[in-house]
Structure 1
Amino acid sequence: MNYYLFKTVKSFHIISVISWMAGMLYLPRIYSYHVKYDFSEIRSVFAIMERRLLYIILLPATVIAVCSGLVMGYATDAFYAIWFHIKMLFVFLMLVMTCFMVHFQRKFANNVNSHSALFYKIINELITLCMMIIVFVVVIKPFR
């Protein structure tokens, strides 16, 4: 792959991962506030915020991050490195969490949430932990 094309793909990857993680870190926090406040006006505002964050920022950023990451992995033969498989395990967990974010948003939209504010705060911390592991694995590249 051309050097400048690779750097362009990498730039899109970094930008989209930042956007994806921003959404993943903020959305559970909005969910926890949504649970806390029992006023219908505020809940409708939270529902709008959740939907927009999810469908305008988080999901498009996820698709771009995954696609650009796969292109870079293919271009660099990273698929053969053990560190890459560790990273992909945690990326898969992040994708599962992203699917849960969609599920939770639909529950809130239908007013059938069954989780506490603490549950969403714990989810937020798990997402942070996965993100940290991914960053350390990518930077350190253990088991080369």
Structure 2
Amino acid sequence: MLWVKAFHIIAVVCWFAAIFYLPRLFVYHAMAEDEISRERFKIMERKLYRGIGTPSMVITIALGIWLLSYNFQGYLSQGWVHAKLTLVAALVAYHFYCGYLLKVFKEDRNQRSHVFYRWLNEAPVLALIAIVILVVVKPF
């Protein structure tokens, strides 16, 4: 179980690295004024999303389910697990929304300013704080 937990944490760190950095790339992409920069950001965003973010998310979820399977009934009787899983579901939705934005940028259809993406970048930070507190403190 400890090996599964260790690899779960590693996958979570990799996933969060991607979902922290991708909206930051969107900030710079939205500010880019020349075609060369915009094309470079498209490549960076795609590689980050497909090469690191999505595989890390899939591994995180798979290992998380594996961890839950060790004591499924016990975990589901605890409120903090429900709250954590709700936040994880929100992060998955956020991840796919970033994938949608990736497509918007790829097709040169972005209508939002860099300020929007700066605010968007804060959402996973709040989720991470809440998830860590839920897992470590188990407040309910």
- TM class by smaller structure: over 0.9
For 2:116, the equivalent position in structure 1 comes to 119
Q: SS of the counterpart of 2:70?
A: helix
CA RMSD of aligned residues (A): 0.8
**Which amino acid in the other structure matches residue 39 of structure 1?**
D
**DSSP-derived class of the 2:122 partner:** helix
- Report the equivalent of 1:94: 91
Q: Which residue of 2 aligns with 1:61?
A: 56
Q: Aligned equivalents of 1:38 and 1:131: distance in 2?
A: 33
**Structure-to-structure mapping, 1:1-144, within 5 angstroms:** 6-77=1-72, 78-143=75-140
Name stretches of at least 5 consecutive residues in structure 1 with no aligned partner.
Answer: 1-5
Structure 2 gaps, min length 5 = none
Question: TM-score normalized by structure 2?
Answer: 0.95
**Which range moves more in the overlay, 15-24 or 120-129?**
120-129
Alignment-mate amino acid for residue 14 of structure 1: I
- Flag as ranges the 4+ runs of structure 1 deviating above 3 A: none
- The Cα shift of 1:80 comes to 2.2
TM-score by length of 1: 0.93
